[in-house]
Amino acid sequence: MSVTVKDVEHVAKLARLEFSETEKEVLTHELNEILGYIEKLNELDTTNVEPLSHVIELSNVVRDDVVRQSASAEEMLQNAPDRTEKFFRVPKVIGER
Amino acid sequence: MQDFFIPSSLIIQEKCCLNDFEALHTQLIAGETSCEKITQAYLRRIEQKKNLHAFLHVFADEAAERARTVDRKLADGTAGPLAGMVIAVKDVICMKGHPVTCGSRMLENFISPYDATVIQRLDAADAVVIGKTNMDEFAMGSSTENSAFGVTLNPMDESRVPGGSSGGSAVAVAASMATTALGSDTGGSIRQPAALCGVVGLKPTYGRVSRYGLVAFASSFDQIGSFGSTVRDVAYVLQTIAGHDPCDSTSADLSVPDYLKALTGDVKGLRVGIPTEYFTSALEAEISGPIMQKVDLLKRHGASIKEISLPHSEYTIATYYILSTAEASSNLARYDGARYGRRAPGVKDLLEMYTQSRSEGFGNEVKRRIMLGTYVLSAGYYEAYYRKGQKVRRLIKQDFDRAFQEVDCLITPTSPTSAFKIG
């Protein structure tokens, strides 16, 4: 399994990142190198091993459904790059294209 | 760099002032100093050692004000257990009304709307936060060279790195700019800079300390811990910040032991494990030598030493690469330019806003890790990489479970080398 520039472009699109042609070349090389190293894990037979997502194995943690004080809309809008009244403003979502 | 004149008497006074926490606290209770004096001494020290670039933000006025409040509480007899402790906080932990940049252009202008649980607990115990420290961007790195705001220098040798990602916090303690410091550790980010700067650093067990208000890198690994000049100082901080928090459902609902009481100095009967895989020929003698001296010391004081094996050690880095980058790619998806953080100017639609904002806001190392993480989670590769990594994670954990049936603790090197040159 070897990563190509095309793969890098695909993954970049998924990650919402953009790279120059030179950066893509570099990333292709780096990803291949890291993935080559990761291949090492295939030396291990893990057929009957359960995946572990967390070192402390937790089941669902629930709490009582009671109303608690939370931050105001105004506080949450303090870091907004752009806003209008009580809303975050973003560029047009439904465009002509 | 001699901006102001410091009389030699003051330097001596400051030396005794900038002490470990227990010494400071004793002086404070005896009325020999005040919290404000201690805080001012640290502030002067930060100014003197500015070139190390340990801090991204220093809260001079606010820290002095807080110190005066602590002094009033001391006079009233109502001061908390950490009165006299001046603490530096890695710039990845939220403090209401203060920046939390994570060493990234992405969050350059972000102001925390709330306090992390650890900050609330330190406040309640009357510690004084003096400022926020430099770090590798989003805690990704082991040299603090990946900060968007410049490198931090190792105070022992300014041509060398302090380690990372919590490099600023390690330096703050190593250069006496704070009594203790908070850091975060995902894959060594407290332990390694502590080792490279010659201070004590502790990554508590996952779940011991609430992560509420810690900006996430890899959520199943991230943990807040502390730096200090002594083990006891680190224990004081842990005592305050440890314990269950309803705001972090992964914090363990277990009672917190008395750490200070546990530090008796008595090691008789302690079963110490030496994992053979960690002491290969590749390890430099300057690292293995001193460790073995300490092992001998423990032995002389009655500890039993046992060689043990952690057979999956050679797979840990590969596993960590997969799992930590996968979690990071998911966690860092939140930086989309919509609600907070950097938004690229002049974008014409939503997709361009996401892509431009992220491409401008993140540095190269962060982008590289997001790319790897996205790749290992993508359709067609999820099983081969991410699932495989999770399975090997269990095998690694089982190694430790087995080891801890035979021994009480393990001794390992923290880093295979001492501090390396910048660049």
Residue B203 has pLDDT above 60, yes or no: yes
Question: How far, rounded to the nearest angstrom, does the alpha carbon of residue A38 sit from its chain's CA centroid?
Answer: 20
Nearest CA in chain A to B339: A80
Substitution target in A1, A14, A53 with the highest count of B β-carbons within 10 Å is: A14
In the prediction, which pLDDT does A97 show?
A: 54
pLDDT at B5: 38
Q: How confident is the model at residue B201 (pLDDT cuts 50, 70, 90)?
A: very high
- Tell me whether residues B391 and A31 touch, CB distance under 8 A: no
What phi and psi, each to the nearest 5 degrees, are found at residue B185? -135, 120
Which of B375, B376, B386 would you mutate first to test chain A, the one with the most A CBs within 10 A?
Answer: B375
Q: Is B98 on the interface with A (CB under 8 A)?
A: no
Domain B8-262, CATH 3.90.1300.10 — does that match? yes
Task: Give me B188's structure tokens.
Answer: 């060594």
Q: How far apart are CA B317 and CA B322, in angstroms?
A: 9
d(C-alpha B73, C-alpha B180), whole Å = 21
Least CB–CB distance from A38: residue in B220, B318, B362: B318
Between the CA atoms of B41, B43, B46 and B48, what dihedral angle is there, to the nearest 10 degrees?
-60
What pLDDT, in 10s, does the model give residues B47-102?
999 999 999 999 999 999 999 999 999 999 999 999 999 999 999 999 999 999 99
Cβ contacts of B83 within 8 Å, gap of 6 or more: B25, B28, B35, B70, B73, B74, B126
Q: A39-74, pLDDT tens digit by residue? A: 999 999 999 999 999 888 777 888 899 998 888 999
pLDDT digits (tens, 9 = 90+) for B242-267: 999 999 999 999 999 999 999 999 99
Residues 316-355 of B with CB under 8 A from A: 317-319, 321-322, 329, 333, 336-343, 347-355
A5-42: what CATH class? mainly alpha
Contacts of B250 in chain A (CB under 8 A): 54, 56, 58
Kindly report, residue by residue over B326-349, the tens digit of the pLDDT: 999 999 999 999 999 999 999 999
Q: B171: alpha, beta or left, given left = phi > 0 and alpha = psi -120 to 50?
A: alpha
Q: Which of B371, B395, B397 sits opposite A31 (nearest CB)?
A: B371
Is the pLDDT at B21 greater than 60? The verdict is: yes
Buried b (16+ CB within 10 A) or exposed e, B364-390: eebbbbbbbbbbbbbeebeebbbebbb
Report which of B76, B15, B23 is spatially closest to residue B41, judged by C-alpha positions. Answer: B15
- Residue A4's CB is within 10 A of a number of other CB atoms, namely 12
d(CA A21, CA B339): 30
User: What is the H or E stretch that residue B58 is in?
Assistant: strand B55-58
Nearest to B375 among A16, A31, A61 (CB): A31
DSSP letters for chain A? ----HHHHHHHHHHTT----HHHHHHHHHHHHHHHHHHGGGGGS--TTPPP-S-SS----------------HHHHTTT-SSEETTEE--S-SS---
- B37 touching chain A per CB within 8 A: no
Q: Give the type of residue at A96.
A: E
Amino acid identity of B320? Y
Contacts of A18 in chain B (CB under 8 A): 355-356, 359
Q: Please tell me the distance in Å from B71's CA to the nearest CA on chain A.
A: 32
With a CB-CB cutoff of 8 Å, which residues 60-79 of chain B face chain A?
none
What six digits make up the tokens of B284? 């430099």
Neighbours of B50 (CB within 10 A): 14
Q: How many CB atoms lie within 10 A of CB B78?
A: 10
Residues of B in contact with A82 (CB under 8 A): 343
Residues of B in contact with A56 (CB under 8 A): 206-207, 250, 252
Rg (CA), chain A: 23
Q: Decide if B88 contacts B132 (C-beta within 8 A).
A: yes
Q: How far is B132 from chain A (nearest CA, A)?
A: 19
Give the amino acid at B278.
Answer: Y
Stretch B309-323: mean pLDDT: 98
- Measured CA to CA, the distance from residue B18 to residue B402 in angstroms comes to 43
Q: Where are the domains of chain B?
A: 8-262, 266-423
CA B182 – CA B180 distance, rounded (Å)? 7
Of A46, A61, A81, the CB nearest to B337: A81
pLDDT band at B14 (very low <50, low <70, confident <90, very high): very low
Query: Is the CB of A92 less than 8 angstroms away from the CB of B249?
Result: no
Nearest-angstrom CA–CA distance, A12 and A24: 9
At B126, which amino acid appears? D
From chain B residues 394-413, the ones with a CB under 8 A of any chain A CB are 394-395, 397
Of B252, B315, B374, nearest to A14 by CB-CB distance is B374
What is the tens place of the pLDDT at every residue in A18-38?
999 999 999 999 999 999 999
The angle at the Cα of B169, spanning B167 to B173, to the nearest 5 degrees, equals 115
The ranges assigned to domains in chain A are 5-42
**Residues of B with a known catalytic role:** 90, 165, 189
CA torsion through residues B154, B159, B165, B168, sign: positive
Place of tokens 């690229």: B344
Q: Do B375 and A11 touch (CB under 8 A)?
A: yes
Residues of A in contact with B362 (CB under 8 A): 17
